Amino acid sequence: NGAEINVQDKYGEAALIKAVRIGALEVVRFLVDEGADINTQDNSSKTALMKAVRVGDLEVVCILVGEGADVNAQDERGWTALMEAVKWNRLEVIRFLVGEGADTNAQDERGWTALVQAIRKDALEVVRLLVENGADVNTQTNNGETVLMKAVGGSALAMVRLLVANGADVNTQTNNGETALMKAVRIGDLEKIRFLVANGADINAQTKYGWTALMQAAPDIEMVRFLVGEGADVNIQTNNGETALIQAARVGDLAMVHFLIANGADINAQTNNGETALIQATEWGRLETVRFLVNKGADVNTPDNSGRTPLILAEEKGLQEMVDFLKETVATSRRR
């Protein structure tokens, strides 16, 4: 009878789910004819339809949907049958489910949609199918990441092109303020960087900490050169007042320091603590950078908020060669 046919084992699986899971088509037909609960769920809230999708048996999927299976049911993680189909790359099943009203914009517990899943698998044809059937190209996950960012991070340029062509916003920011351009910069993909900039990416957008794509591009001088050429502001400051030059000086990246100064970086800009590029370079023992900054006109007498000049810092650190150079420089500046 109906009660017995729907009895569940310790995993919550009724006979219908078991039959679907092992691909027993005739048993599935029999159970359905005998009144098995089409929407029965196991202990993880997975339905027979989800199991059928995972197996990839389109005929069973058709039978279940034809008998009233809920195509938009969600398991305990928020996954739908469509998401399962995308995960296992069941293109014909995806096409069928979408045609039967599967919600292309349902989100799981992380805020991921079927489109996010398809992009993570770099499944261009699936992405195209989902977008054609209403998938939101500007949906964001719980951390604010967009599908475009997912594509920038792990897919070919063709995927990025497809999303932008279908209206993906290139300037949406995550909860931390990151953009798709910043993601492309972080992974060092100049081809995607060029494409995003050409399609309106805000080159001077800042994260919630004030970082820009230019700051994240260091130490890749080619990437920095491209961004500056496209209008990146070399004097933007982070929340704590750092500029790209101060950051480059701290790590002793002489090529970057040279390039930034040549392109208008304020050599005497100060952080919220009053530290200049010269002070940072001194504190971290970057002698060649200190020499270069001084030769380019960095003020050797500017103190930080604690009253420490580069010379005082060098003396505190016991950097004798640095001390000798700065003493000579300070003496020269006083004679002028």
CA distance 40 to 31: 12
Q: Is 66 exposed, middle or buried (0-12, 13-18, 19+ CB in 10 A)?
A: exposed
Q: Which residue has the tokens 């650190």?
A: 317
Assign residue 179 a region (left: φ > 0; alpha: ψ between -120 and 50; beta: otherwise).
Answer: beta
CA 304 to chain centre: 36
What structural domains and CATH numbers belong to the chain?
1-103 (1.25.40.20), 104-233 (1.25.40.20), 234-336 (1.25.40.20)
CA distance 187 to 176: 17
CA distance 54 to 81: 8
Q: Model's pTM, two decimal places?
A: 0.89
Q: What angle do CA 46, 52, 56 make, to 5 degrees?
A: 135
CA distance 159 to 127: 8
Residue 335 has a pLDDT of: 64
Alpha helices for 56-113 (secondary structure H): 58-66, 81-87, 91-99
Residue 154 has a pLDDT of: 85
CA distance 302 to 310: 8
> Under a CB-based contact definition with an 8 Å cutoff, are residues 19 and 27 in contact?
yes
Q: Which residues contact 60 (CB under 8 A, 6 or more apart)?
A: 20, 23, 25, 28, 52
Helix, strand, or coil (residue 146):
strand
Q: Which residues contact 27 (CB under 8 A, 6 or more apart)?
A: 15, 19
Residue 255 has a pLDDT of: 96
Helix, strand, or coil (residue 140):
strand
Tokens of 69: 């299976």
Assign residue 42 a region (left: φ > 0; alpha: ψ between -120 and 50; beta: otherwise).
Answer: beta
Q: What angle do CA 153, 158, 164 make, to 5 degrees?
A: 80
Tokens of 107: 């989100």
CA distance 336 to 331: 9
State the CB neighbour count (10 A cutoff) for residue 12. Answer: 14
Q: What is the pLDDT along the chain (336 residues), one digit of tens a residue?
A: 556 888 888 888 899 999 999 989 899 999 999 989 999 999 999 999 999 999 999 999 999 999 999 999 999 999 999 999 999 999 999 999 999 999 999 999 999 999 999 999 999 999 999 999 999 999 999 999 999 999 999 889 999 999 999 999 999 999 999 999 999 999 999 999 999 999 999 999 999 999 999 999 999 999 999 999 999 999 999 999 999 999 999 999 999 999 999 999 999 999 999 999 999 999 999 999 999 999 999 999 999 999 999 999 999 999 999 999 999 998 887 765
